[in-house]
Amino acid sequence: MYSDEYLEHYAERFLRDRLGAHGVTLVQYLADPARYEHLTERHEPLLPRQRLVQRQVYEAEMAQAERGVETLPRRNGAIVEPLHHRRFPVANSMFRGRS
């Protein structure tokens, strides 16, 4: 059994850090508090309203990114970059002047 001081101290920390929201029971926490210390540094899951806003922000960013590539040339739906090169360029040839 745990002493009253030990139980009070760690039970208060358990409630303060809301470790139950991470799926830890008080019995598990009391058995080895150091094992669950890393959970106190994590963020809690988003609330439903926060998830909705997160989704709206993500969709707005994706729409903006898609608008940036709408004007690019496509071939069969895939974006292609037209290549502007010649097989034997006349200017700036490294073979120019050789015999």
Q: Let me know whether 13 and 33 are in one domain.
A: yes
Q: In terms of residue numbers, what domain contains 67?
A: 48-75
With respect to residue 69, please indicate whether it lies within any of the assigned structural domains: yes
pLDDT digits 0-9 by tens, 68-90:
888 888 888 888 887 777 676 66
pLDDT at 62: 94
Domain tally, the chain: 2
Strand runs labelled E in 1-99: 74-75, 78-79
Question: Given CA atoms 38, 40, 41, 43 in this order, what sign does their dihedral have?
Answer: positive
Q: Let me know whether 10 and 26 are in one domain.
A: yes
With respect to residue 99, please indicate whether it lies within any of the assigned structural domains: no
pLDDT digits 0-9 by tens, 21-49:
888 999 999 999 999 888 888 777 789 99
Residue 22: both structure tokens together: 């991470």
pLDDT at 55: 97
User: What does the pLDDT average to over 17-21?
Assistant: 86
With respect to residue 80, please indicate whether it lies within any of the assigned structural domains: no
- 12 has pLDDT over 90: yes
Q: Let me know whether 36 and 58 are in one domain.
A: no
